[in-house]
Amino acid sequence: MKICVLILAIFFSFFFSFGCDSSEGNETDNESSVLNCKTLSDCPRGYICGDNFYCVPGDETEGNPLYEEDIDDDVTEIITDSNDGSCKTSSDCDADKICQYKQCLNPFDKIWRLSDMKVSLSTDKIWDEIGLGGEAVQPDPMIIVYLNGAKVLETDVASDTFTATFIESVELVLDENDSFVIEIRDADTFDYTKAGTITYSPVPISVFRNQAINETDFSNVISFSAKFEPAN
């Protein structure tokens, strides 16, 4: 009799233990450990913020305020103000804002990258000494960039050419009180000759919006161009 009671006790103990473990496993499969989410950004990759404010498996675009409204009006993070609202291009924003990450933002105090600089110098100027045949020797262009008087970039010299492309780049954080200068030079044997200078104080909003610098016909420079893009 004692043996039968012992067998029954072991059976019921195993049955209820198995049932509890199975229930907990289902909850783990359907919900992540992240609770009280409000938007997609609160959840790990491959999860969305469900109606019960738990992170559950789902399409990453669902519940994302960049694609649609949030799941609850009380916790929506969509900004509808015209100054900081959603946009497709900078023309959708106020005149002093740019469109970035589908939002109208102030372009200053952000990291920008200056790169892919190209220059074309005048062919009318005698840049260097006269060659043995009496011809004018071609210039040796280079570029120096200053921010508030401090040198932040100096390119290599491109030898004997009127046109050059420079691979160097620099990342900058600009504010509305900064002086930003791009100086194009001819690197002579013993000295430098200024070909032309671009001075911005501050950098115009058109440069941020176009994400490019394009200047033509100044001093002895026919054209200068560069990419000016967000670095983050």
Give the least confident one: 15-24, 47-56, 71-80, 84-93: 71-80
Q: Is the pLDDT of residue 81 over 50?
A: no
Cβ neighbours of residue 185 closer than 8 Å, sequence gap 6 or more: 141, 142, 143, 144, 192, 193, 194, 195
Q: Produce one character per residue of 55-88: b if its CB has 16 or more CB atoms within 10 Å, e if not.
A: bbeeeeeebebeeeebbeeeeeeeeeeeeeeebe
Q: Is the pLDDT of residue 46 over 80?
A: no
Question: Among all chains, which residue has been given the structure tokens 């100086």?
Answer: 183
Q: pLDDT value at position 55?
A: 74
Q: Is the pLDDT of residue 71 over 70?
A: no
Q: What is the pLDDT of residues 132-155, one digit of tens each?
A: 555 657 899 999 999 999 999 999
DSSP string, 91-151: GGS-TT-EEETTEEE--TTSEEEEEEEEEEE-SSS--S-B-TTSPBPPP-EEEEEEETTEE
% of the chain exceeding 90 in pLDDT: 50
Q: Produce one character per residue of 154-172: b if its CB has 16 or more CB atoms within 10 Å, e if not.
A: ebebbeeebebebeebbeb
Higher pLDDT: 12 or 222? It is 222
Q: pLDDT value at position 5?
A: 47
Question: Among all chains, which residue has been given the structure tokens 């508030």?
Answer: 148
Q: Judging by DSSP bridges, how do beta strands 55-57 and 98-100 pair with one another?
A: unpaired
Q: pLDDT value at position 131?
A: 56
Whether this prediction's pTM lies above 0.75 is answered by no
Cβ–Cβ under 8 Å, residues 225 and 118: yes
Q: Is the pLDDT of residue 31 over 80?
A: no
Q: What is the mean pLDDT of residues 175-182?
A: 95
Q: pLDDT value at position 202?
A: 92
Across the chain, the runs of DSSP E, i.e. the strands, are: 47-49, 55-57, 98-100, 103-105, 111-121, 141-147, 150-154, 163-166, 170-173, 180-187, 192-200, 212-218, 221-230
Q: pLDDT value at position 48?
A: 74
Give the least confident one: 4-18, 103-117, 145-159, 185-199: 4-18
Average pLDDT over all residues of the chain: 77
Q: Is the pLDDT of residue 30 over 90?
A: no
Question: In the beta sheet, which residues pair with residue 183?
Answer: 144, 197
Q: What is the pLDDT of residues 86-122, one digit of tens each?
A: 899 999 999 999 998 889 999 998 999 999 999 999 9
By C-alpha distance, which of 228, 22, 199 is closest to 110? 228
Q: pLDDT value at position 196?
A: 96
Q: What is the mean pLDDT of residues 9-30?
A: 47
Q: pLDDT value at position 11?
A: 52
Cα separation, 63 vs 24, in Å, equals 26
Q: pLDDT value at position 76?
A: 35
Cα separation, 121 vs 105, in Å, equals 36
Higher pLDDT: 187 or 44? It is 187
